Amino acid sequence: MTSFVAACIQMRTGRNPLENLDVCEALVREAAAEGAVYVQTPEMTNVLERSRKAQLAASSFEGADPFLKRLGILANELNIWVHIGSLAIRLEDDKLANRGFMISPRGEVVARYDKIHMFDVDLPNGESWRESESYSAGSVSPVVDLGVAKVGMAICYDIRQPALFREQSKAGAQVLTGPAAFTKQTGEAHWHVLQRSRAIENGAFVVTAAQGGTHEDDRQTYGHSLMVDPWGRVIAELDHDEPGVLLGELDLAKVDEARRRIPAIENARDFSVATVSLSGEMVR
């Protein structure tokens, strides 16, 4: 069997983690009832809060996080893989990790991923974000063998870093991910082209669950949870910013087909970059 059903859970996470957990559980159950064996939630599934102090207060240490406990039980009950796009996890130094988790059908956490690339930007509409002030960046990019597929873990802003996804693909990833809380402004400008580009470059599926709508802290996120096939075609999309479930069938034979037709990974070569001055002098 080369095909399986995947699901993205689109949320509008607020300030109360337990309320968010109830919403998340209901949507995961809905996805499983529709046949999904892999269910992905968005970035910051547990709590979204603009205030660093309030975000820290609302977050738990990993061992005490209610999402991990309940979604582990749920994965086991439903016999599915649950990919928590990320949770705000409290660390010992009063900082946070933006941490994704892969939970097996046995209810066990088999992989963790701390977001590597921090969203430190000033946008044209006046929005300013400094993720590095609150979160500790990770340094390891996991590819997880689920049996049905090899899945690369990434988070949101990582999608703008093609090298990360190329390395995952070289390591065997067939499905790339970028669970997100994309701003409305950047989503309208770049969401689809970024997801499609990562799929085309690597001949891989890209599956991304998203946050959507106006949140309790007044931020606006884009929604539009998306699945793209290895040829760059959108095969499923929630064309709105409301909470919901997106389902899609992923046929891994299409990964092999795309990589045979355009063997970009196989054809890649090591190289160096040289700069050339106005005098014509080349500097390596």
Per the annotation, the verdict on 8 as an active-site residue is: no
Which residue is catalytic, options 8, 24, 115, 254? 115
Burial class for 133, CB neighbours closer than 10 Å (0-12, 13-18, 19+):
exposed
CA distance 79 to 37: 8
Which residue is catalytic, options 8, 24, 43, 49? 43
Per the annotation, the verdict on 115 as an active-site residue is: yes
Per the annotation, the verdict on 184 as an active-site residue is: no
Which residue is catalytic, options 8, 24, 156, 184? 156
Half-sphere exposure of 259 (CA within 13 A, CB side): 18
Q: 119-123: which pairs have CB atoms within 8 A and are 24 or more residues apart? A: 119/156, 119/157, 123/183, 123/185, 123/186
Burial class for 275, CB neighbours closer than 10 Å (0-12, 13-18, 19+):
exposed
The C-alpha angle 13, 44, 231, rounded to 5 degrees, equals: 105
CA distance 119 to 219: 15
Write out the catalytic residue numbers.
43, 115, 156
